[in-house]
Structure 1
């Protein structure tokens, strides 16, 4: 078992995520109107499409009550829209607005800057290969565990 944290997959992935988020915050303070958590909501909804609040909370790894408060603020600001689920009246479906789509474009620009910093010194081929490795790792972790 590897004890050096710099060679542990989970530690490296978590630490790169932490540092990437920190750099995103630094670069976005002057240009973006939303918090990183709010941008995560918009990004998840843009990627996965409209979904119920519980599913969104699960993706964000937060309690449903915390997600509800965040979504309340975002709905008040016109970033998201909630509507009843026609198949289950107990659920509320969440989707992004046009305003959020425009904000996501600005956040992507900041994300591109962060990516440029993170992948500084990589060749284009290395960067593509690295992204491919991450996509494969994500796909592997998305599969059910063998019985």
Structure 2
């Protein structure tokens, strides 16, 4: 019999919380005809501005071919444009269009609503602590992963 104490697993808790957040946001975004992954693309563009496909894939945690399919659908809807970089013709740069700006405000309202529901009953201080702790875990694992890759 396979055994593992999932109740003590930070990874399991984070994964289940992420899953719940994703499902809640998906349920809200469906009225705008957008998926969670498309939301991530737009959020990445909001944070980074114009960005290469390679960096965008890394930012949202998907493989290149997966991102290409997402971007194809978004481009078909007129939400993003792909332009060839003037510095490197092999590189595609992604930018949002004016068309998506109108619905972006409504999408962010959905995200704020989901976030508010997620932290209901949790103090502002505890939410800030949670963010700090999750960031520290990410840094710890990024360091370890980078160090292990450089040794190989």
Fold similarity call, TM over 0.5: yes
CA RMSD across the alignment? 2.3
TM-score normalised over the length of structure 1 = 0.82
Moved over 4 A (4+): none
Match of 2:97 in 1: 97
Worse-matched range after superposition: 47-56 or 100-109: 100-109
Give secondary structure in 1 for the equivalent of 2:41: helix
Aligned residues: 145
TM-score normalised over the length of structure 2 = 0.79
- Distance in 2 (alpha carbons) for counterparts of 1:139 and 1:63: 21
Match of 1:25 in 2: 26
- Distance in 1 (alpha carbons) for counterparts of 2:140 and 2:18: 19
**Aligned-residue offset at 1:107:** 2.1
Q: 1:137 to 1:68 in 2, by over 3 A?
A: same
| Structure (1/2) with the larger helix percentage | 2
Extract unaligned runs of 5+ from structure 1: none
The 5 Å alignment of 1:46-85 reads: 46-85=46-85
